[in-house]
Amino acid sequence: MQVPKGTLIALGGGDDDGLINLVRSELCSIDSHIEVITTATLEPMESGQAYKEAFEELGCSSVRFMHIDEDNEADKPEYLSRIGKAEVIFFTGGNQLRLKEFLAGTQLHELMQRRFKEEEITIAGTSAGAAAMSDRMIYEGYGYYSLLKGEVKTTEGLSFIRNVFIDTHFTERGRFGRLAHAVSKRPQFVGIGLGEETGIIIKGGQHVEVFGNAVVTVMDSSHVRYSNLDEVEEGEPIAVENLIMHLLVEGHEYCLTDRVFRKLSQQKRKTSSKT
């Protein structure tokens, strides 16, 4: 599979000043074209304007936002032209199912995917915008019920990365069970749980670094020795043996292809600052 040239950034929700500062300080210049996609939210004008102003306060001079829904189709020539020039594409929070409904399979979506594979652009998102980044996303499963067979639902995502579940508001909303359930059903997937105000940077489609002050949870079910998922009926609790979990904080990374946890050296993250 082709190694993407783009950089993926996902935040677990909450205050996103850290994410905006990271994008500006390390991944784009003041002249970079930034497009904010507000499709996930039901308050697109307010959300889009807030992000536009946040980037502009850091000196960015070319920030625009677009809302795509049942009344605003994705494949407008204007939108295609703007995404064709964008150096940063930012997905807001809201409901990730809206991103699938109104973007997946469009020419605009295909253009984003192609550019992410072939060019050094940045695709970033928070909350729902982060959860939708992989080829599959979780959209149901709560509390105790998330450990009952059939209660965790997944669907296709935007496919900027493959074989990863990204779950957001992870510790704050008690989503351990649903991520564990999701990866146990699909051992080829790695589960990544993002707490609020904490996120990940993924380069080359495989190297996961942490930013922010909280913890990123990584789940790996590739070494599971036993589960009862094929034996129990819908609505019954699941059992899983040897599910591996890692806790990452800033200064550590996880390699998705090798499924290896490492501590980084003291030198700063190897991203070239642009001014």
Catalytic machinery residues: 127, 169, 196
Token pair belonging to 37? 């996609």
Q: CA 128, CA 137: separation in Å to the nearest integer? A: 10
Q: What's the distance, CA 229 to chain centroid?
A: 27
Amino acid at 29: S
Q: CA 32, CA 62: separation in Å to the nearest integer? A: 6
Neighbours of 273 (CB within 10 A): 9
Amino acid at 153: K
Query: Is the Cβ–Cβ distance between 28 and 88 less than 8 Å?
Result: yes
> Any idea how long the chain is?
275
